C-alpha cells in the first residue's frame, strides 16, 4: 500500500490535498495504513481520516471525513468506527 496513490485520488477532487498523517496500525489483527488527508473542496476545508488494508484478495478503503473545524470533536467517533474493521473469511 502506498500513501501516494491515495493522495492522488484525493487530489482529483481537491487539488491542494496533502497527507498530514501516515502510520501503520494493527486493528483486529490486521496491519492497516492510517492516513489523514486535508484539503479544500468547494470552499470547505476537510479532513479524510481512513484505514487502508490490502491482501491477496484485494484492497479495502474505510474512510471517514468531516470539515476541519469539526474533526477534533468527531475524532473519537470516527476512530471507533474505523476500528470496527475486520476481515471476514469463508
Contact status, residue 76 vs residue 84, Cβ threshold 8 Å: no
Q: Does the pLDDT value for residue 80 go beyond 90?
A: yes
Q: How many domains does the chain have?
A: 1
Residue 87 maps to a domain: no
| Residue 48: all three cell numbers together | 479524510
pLDDT of residue 2: 62
42-68 pLDDT tens trace: 899 999 999 999 999 888 999 999 999
1-17 pLDDT tens trace: 566 777 777 778 888 88
Contact status, residue 33 vs residue 7, Cβ threshold 8 Å: no
Length of the chain: 90
Residue span of the structural domain in which 66 resides: 3-82
Domain of 9, CATH number, reads: 3.40.1000.10
pLDDT of residue 88: 86
Q: Does the pLDDT value for residue 84 go beyond 70?
A: yes
pLDDT of residue 27: 97
Q: Which of 42, 89, 37, 90 is nearest to 68 (CA)?
A: 37
First to last CA, the chain: 24
Amino acid at each position: 500500500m502506498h500513501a501516494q496513490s491515495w493522495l492522488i485520488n484525493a487530489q482529483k477532487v481537491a487539488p491542494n490535498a496533502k497527507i498530514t498523517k501516515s502510520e501503520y496500525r494493527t486493528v483486529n489483527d490486521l496491519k492497516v495504513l492510517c492516513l489523514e488527508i486535508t484539503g479544500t473542496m468547494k470552499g470547505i476545508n476537510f479532513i479524510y481520516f481512513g484505514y487502508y488494508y490490502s491482501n491477496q484478495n484485494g484492497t479495502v478503503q474505510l474512510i471517514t471525513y468531516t470539515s476541519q473545524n469539526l474533526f477534533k470533536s468527531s475524532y473519537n467517533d470516527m476512530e471507533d468506527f474505523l476500528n470496527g474493521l475486520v476481515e471476514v473469511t469463508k
